[in-house]
């Protein structure tokens, strides 16, 4: 219990001096205003940073997808076998003497 009184005695006087200091009061009022009431308050800035990070990760995802599609396009333009395989898989194309069986999976 003695340390509580000592803490209150030492820091109580310091808080009393801070509260009476006009620069501290102006600084505290400004920080309070910027935190809660300003159009660009800290909470809004935090939400914007989170949104920017989410959009940057989405951009990275789409960049990798674009790279994959470019590689696939290059393969389709250069190799006839890959073009034929793509047409068979995606457009259900077949040769004239083939029979095509479609199997649907239950979901």
Q: 18 lies in which domain range?
A: 1-38
Are 45 and 75 in the same domain? yes
CA–CA distance, 79 with 85 (Å, rounded to integer): 10
Are 30 and 43 in the same domain? no
**pLDDT tens digits for range 64-96:** 999 999 999 999 999 998 888 888 888 888 888
- At 12 the pLDDT is 65
Query: How confident is residue 7, by pLDDT bands cut at 50, 70 and 90?
Result: low
- At 49 the pLDDT is 96
Cα dihedral sign for 21, 23, 29, 34?
negative
Please count the CA atoms within 13 angstroms of the CA of 47 that sit on its side-chain side.
Answer: 5
- What is the end-to-end Cα distance of the chain in Å, rounded? 69
CA–CA distance, 94 with 92 (Å, rounded to integer): 7
In a domain, 101, yes or no: no
**pLDDT tens digits for range 18-69:** 777 788 889 989 888 888 888 888 888 899 999 999 999 999 999 999 999 9
Angle at 5 between CA 3 and CA 10, to 5 degrees: 90
- Identify the DSSP state of 39: T
């Amino acid at each position: 219990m003695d340390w509580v009184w000592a803490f209150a005695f030492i820091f109580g006087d310091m808080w009393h001096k801070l509260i009476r200091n006009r620069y501290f009061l102006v600084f505290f009022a400004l920080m309070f205003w910027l935190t809660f009431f300003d159009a660009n308050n800290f909470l809004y800035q935090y939400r914007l940073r989170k949104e920017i990070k989410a959009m940057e990760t989405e951009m990275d995802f789409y960049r990798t997808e674009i790279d994959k599609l470019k590689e696939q396009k290059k393969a389709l333009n250069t190799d006839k076998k890959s073009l034929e395989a793509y047409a068979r898989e995606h457009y259900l194309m077949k040769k004239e003497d083939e029979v095509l069986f479609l199997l649907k999976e239950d979901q």
